[in-house]
Amino acid sequence: MMQMSMYQASLPVFIHMLGNLREILGKGAAHAEEKGIDPGVLLNCRLYPDMFPLSRQVQIATDVVKGFAARVADQSPPKYEDNEATFDELAERVGKTIVFLESFEPGQIDGTEEKQVLLPLRSGEVTLKGLDYLNHFVMPNFYFHVTTAYALLRHNGVELGKKDFIGH
């Protein structure tokens, strides 16, 4: 039986999905231009008033994966300003995150399944084993925020389908 490594289960998946997210944001920008919609309306739309807007969904999706790669590789995650106000700026943030993830070698991520990872949260610090961090925190959060970004744009009329989310 062939085992999947921590690297294979994480960074290539994140890079692929971030590429899809960047394409989805491009379609959102094109939709706003084509329909004469102020892009800020889409960037600030929410599924419900107590949820974050589209722009924050993208910010959190990128934060979760850059944090994962850095923490399991004993690095500090790069800090982004969280001030993106346009589709282009959000796409640039996604691209910057892809470049960061591509800078890691498999050897920096593989073998971290049992590594104790300190995760700073608003509610306080939590320590998780690397595999638990990936499977029970990073993956669900990443997919939640990418899916929510997709759903916000789709709900607002952007022509998106499952192929846009899954990619090629």
- Is 4 within the bounds of a domain? no
Q: Which two tokens stand for residue 103?
A: 């800078």
Residue 5 lies in a domain: no
Residue 2: pLDDT band (50, 70, 90) is low
Structural domain count of the chain: 1
pLDDT tens digits, one per residue of 109-156: 999 999 999 998 889 999 999 999 999 999 999 999 999 999 999 999
> pTM of the entire structure?
0.95
pLDDT tens, residue by residue, 26-40: 999 999 999 999 999
The answer to whether 65 and 104 are in contact (CB under 8 A) is: no
> Is 1 contained in some domain?
no
User: How far, in Å, are 18, 23, 94 from residue 153 at the CA level?
Assistant: 16, 12, 17
Query: Residue 32: which domain range?
Result: 11-166
CATH number at residue 61: 1.20.120.450
